[in-house]
C-alpha cells in the first residue's frame, strides 16, 4: 500500500472551487488502495473566515472517509490587497511547514501539491526533497498570472513575487497536471518540459441530479412564470459581478427576468448594497450540496461572468456542474480567453464587461425557447463526452501510479 501526502490549502468542507476536486482526488486514491494524508489549512474559502459550523476544525489531525486530514492555523484576511495577500501566503507557508515537521509515523511514497496557493507548492516541494521521493504538482491556477489579471489593488506586485516563487515549484516537480489547454500553454511558456505536463480537465466531482423545475421553484419561493438566471459560486474580484448588477439595471422595465447571485465571497456585502432597490436581482447565500441540484434545476439560464482581464486563468469550477445540469449556459467572459475557448459552441457567449450586451442577450434568450433547448442539449452532450468523472479519476490514478513507480 503506497502512502501519498496531498498538500493543499483548499479541502473539505469548503463547498466550492478547488476544494471540490482535491477532496474527490484524496478520497478516490484512498478508495483505490492508497493510504492518503492531507496537509491543509482551516476551512476559509469562499467566506474568508471560518464559519461557526466549522469552528471545531482547528489545527490538528482528523479524518474524513478514511483520509487523514491534518490542519494548520493561519492568518485569514477579511479583505484582500497586495500586502494582505503576501501576509496570507506567508502565514500559510510558515504554518503548513511548521505542522509538516510534526507529522510522524508516515513513510510517504509521493507528495502531491495543488496550487494556485504558492505556499502549498513550496511546502510540498520541500517535503518531497527532504524525503527523497517524487513530487507531483496539480496546477489549477497560477497566482502570478491570476493576481495580474484579477483587478486586485497591488496585483502587479503580487504577480512578480508569486511568479518567481511558484516557478520553483513548477520546475521542481517530477510531473505536473494542468486543467486546460490555455494553462498548458502558460506552463510550457515557463520552460517546463512538455513531457512532464499532463492535461486532465476538471470533471464533475459534485453529483448533479435532475430535479423537477416546478418543485425546485417552489422550494426556493420563486414564481413559476419568471425567467430565472442563476450565478453560483465565489463572489470575488475576478468574477466582476458588478457587471451582472449593471446588466440587471439595463433590463427593460417590467421584465419578468430575475437574476440570483448565489454564494459567498469578499465582494458579497458590496454586491448586496448595489442590488438594494433593484427588483430583478438579488444576492443569496450558498446552498448545501443536497440542494445544489435543485438550485440548478430551478434555473432557466445559468450564468458565468468574469473580469475582462481574465485571459489565462483556470476554468471556473462551476462549469462542470452547469454543463451536467441539462440547463443552458450563458457566459460573459473575455473573448479568446480560457473560458471562452472552453465554452465555444456549447454556450451563449457575450463579451466580458459589457452589461448592455449581457442584458440584451438574456432578454433575447428569455423569449427563444428553441435556442434554450439547443444550448441545454449542447452542454449536456459536451459534459458526457468530456467531463465524465470516471474518466477523470482514471487519468489521475494512472498519473499517481506512474509517479510512485518512478521512486
What is the domain partition of the chain in residue ranges? 3-203+388-405, 213-386
Q: Are 378 and 346 in contact (CB under 8 A)?
A: yes
Q: Are 110 and 151 in contact (CB under 8 A)?
A: no
**What is the arithmetic mean of pLDDT over 164-192?**
86
- Asked if the model's pLDDT at residue 151 lies above 60, the reply is no
Residue 56's pLDDT is 95
- Asked if the model's pLDDT at residue 105 lies above 90, the reply is no
Q: For residue 289, what is its C-alpha cell?
A: 450540496
Instruction: Give residues with Cβ within 8 angstroms of 199, minimum separation 6.
Output: 177, 178, 179, 180, 181, 184
- Asked if the model's pLDDT at residue 159 lies above 60, the reply is no
Residue 378's pLDDT is 97
Q: What pLDDT digit, counting tens, does each position of 35-49 carry?
A: 999 999 999 998 899
**What is the arithmetic mean of pLDDT over 297-308?**
95
- Asked if the model's pLDDT at residue 250 lies above 70, the reply is yes
Supply the mean pLDDT for the chain. 90
DSSP string, 5-36: EEE-S--TT--STHHHHHHHHHHHHHHTT-EE
Question: Tell me, which fold does domain 3-203+388-405 have in CATH?
Answer: Rossmann fold (3.40.50)
Please give the Cα distance from 212 to 406 (Å, whole number): 49
Please give the Cα distance from 265 to 114 (Å, whole number): 21
Residue 302's pLDDT is 98
**What is the arithmetic mean of pLDDT over 154-182?**
75
CATH of domain 213-386: 3.40.50.2000
Q: Which of 17-21, 178-182, 219-223, 383-387 has the lowest mean pLDDT?
A: 178-182
What 3-state DSSP class applies to 3? strand
Beta strands, E only, 66-212: 67-71, 110-115, 135-139, 175-178, 197-199
Q: Do domains 3-203+388-405 and 213-386 have the same CATH topology?
A: yes
Residue 311's pLDDT is 65
Q: What pLDDT digit, counting tens, does each position of 194-211 carry?
A: 999 999 999 988 778 888
Residue 206's pLDDT is 78
**What is the arithmetic mean of pLDDT over 238-265?**
93
- Asked if the model's pLDDT at residue 83 lies above 90, the reply is no
Residue 160's pLDDT is 60
Residue 163's pLDDT is 58
- Asked if the model's pLDDT at residue 165 lies above 90, the reply is no
- What is the radius of gyration, based on Cα positions, of the chain? 21
Residue 37's pLDDT is 97
Q: Residue 241: pLDDT band by 50, 70, 90 thresholds?
A: very high
Q: Residue 312: pLDDT band by 50, 70, 90 thresholds?
A: low
Please give the Cα distance from 346 to 378 (Å, whole number): 5
CA-based angle 231:234:236, to the nearest 5? 110
Residue 164's pLDDT is 64
> Can you tell me which residue has the cell 425567467?
227
pTM, whole model, 2 decimals?
A: 0.87
- Which neighbouring-strand residues pair with 333? 351
Q: Residue 231: pLDDT band by 50, 70, 90 thresholds?
A: very high
Please give the Cα distance from 381 to 383 (Å, whole number): 5
Q: Residue 145: pLDDT band by 50, 70, 90 thresholds?
A: low
Q: What pLDDT digit, counting tens, does each position of 264-294 carry?
A: 988 999 999 999 878 899 999 999 888 999 9
**What is the arithmetic mean of pLDDT over 9-30?**
95
Please give the Cα distance from 5 to 241 (Å, whole number): 36
Q: Give the residue from 273, 293, 295, 287 showing the smallest Cα distance to 228.
A: 295
Please give the Cα distance from 282 to 197 (Å, whole number): 42
Instruction: Give residues with Cβ within 8 angstroms of 82, minimum separation 6.
Output: 152, 153, 154, 155, 157, 158
Residue 224's pLDDT is 92
Please give the Cα distance from 315 to 347 (Å, whole number): 14
Q: Are 199 and 179 in contact (CB under 8 A)?
A: yes
Amino acid at each position: 500500500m503506497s502512502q501519498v501526502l496531498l498538500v493543499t490549502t483548499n479541502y473539505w468542507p469548503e463547498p466550492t472551487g478547488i476544494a471540490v476536486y482535491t477532496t474527490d482526488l484524496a478520497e478516490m486514491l484512498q478508495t483505490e488502495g492508497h493510504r492518503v494524508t492531507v496537509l491543509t489549512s482551516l476551512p476559509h474559502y469562499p467566506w474568508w473566515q471560518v464559519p461557526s459550523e466549522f469552528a471545531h476544525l482547528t489545527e490538528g489531525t482528523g479524518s474524513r472517509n478514511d483520509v487523514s486530514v491534518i490542519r494548520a492555523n493561519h492568518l485569514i484576511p477579511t479583505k484582500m490587497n497586495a500586502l494582505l495577500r503576501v501576509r496570507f501566503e506567508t502565514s500559510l507557508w510558515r504554518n503548513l511547514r511548521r505542522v509538516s515537521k510534526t507529522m510522524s509515523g508516515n513513510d510517504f511514497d509521493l507528495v502531491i501539491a495543488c496550487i494556485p496557493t504558492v505556499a502549498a507548492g513550496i511546502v510540498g516541494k520541500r517535503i518531497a526533497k527532504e524525503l527523497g521521493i517524487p513530487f507531483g504538482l496539480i496546477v489549477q491556477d497560477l497566482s502570478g498570472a491570476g493576481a495580474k489579471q484579477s483587478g486586485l489593488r497591488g496585483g502587479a506586485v503580487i504577480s512578480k513575487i508569486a511568479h518567481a516563487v511558484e516557478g520553483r515549484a513548477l520546475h521542481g516537480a517530477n510531473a505536473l497536471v494542468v486543467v486546460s489547454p490555455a494553462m498548458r500553454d502558460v506552463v510550457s511558456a515557463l520552460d517546463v518540459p512538455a513531457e512532464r505536463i499532463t492535461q486532465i480537465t476538471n470533471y464533475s466531482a459534485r453529483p448533479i441530479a435532475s430535479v423537477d423545475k416546478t418543485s425546485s421553484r417552489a422550494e426556493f419561493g420563486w414564481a413559476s412564470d419568471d425567467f430565472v438566471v442563476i450565478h453560483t459560486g465565489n463572489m470575488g474580484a475576478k468574477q466582476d459581478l458588478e457587471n451582472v448588477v449593471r446588466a440587471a439595471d439595463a433590463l427593460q422595465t417590467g421584465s419578468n427576468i430575475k437574476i440570483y447571485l448565489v454564494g459567498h465571497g469578499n465582494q458579497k456585502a458590496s454586491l448586496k448594497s448595489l442590488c438594494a432597490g433593484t427588483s430583478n436581482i438579488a444576492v443569496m447565500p450558498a446552498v448545501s450540496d443536497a440542494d445544489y441540484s435543485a438550485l440548478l434545476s430551478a434555473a432557466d439560464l445559468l450564468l458565468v461572468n468574469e473580469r475582462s482581464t481574465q485571459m489565462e486563468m483556470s476554468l471556473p469550477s462551476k462549469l462542470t456542474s452547469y454543463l451536467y445540469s441539462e440547463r443552458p449556459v450563458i457566459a460573459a467572459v473575455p473573448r479568446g480567453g480560457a473560458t471562452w475557448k472552453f465554452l465555444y459552441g456549447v454556450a451563449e457567449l457575450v463579451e466580458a464587461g459589457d452589461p448592455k450586451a449581457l442584458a440584451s442577450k438574456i432578454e433575447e434568450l428569455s423569449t427563444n425557447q428553441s435556442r434554450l433547448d439547443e444550448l441545454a442539449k449542447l452542454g449536456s452532450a459536451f459534459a458526457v463526452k468530456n467531463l465524465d468523472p470516471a474518466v477523470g479519476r482514471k487519468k489521475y490514478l494512472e498519473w499517481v501510479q506512474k509517479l510512485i513507480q518512478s521512486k
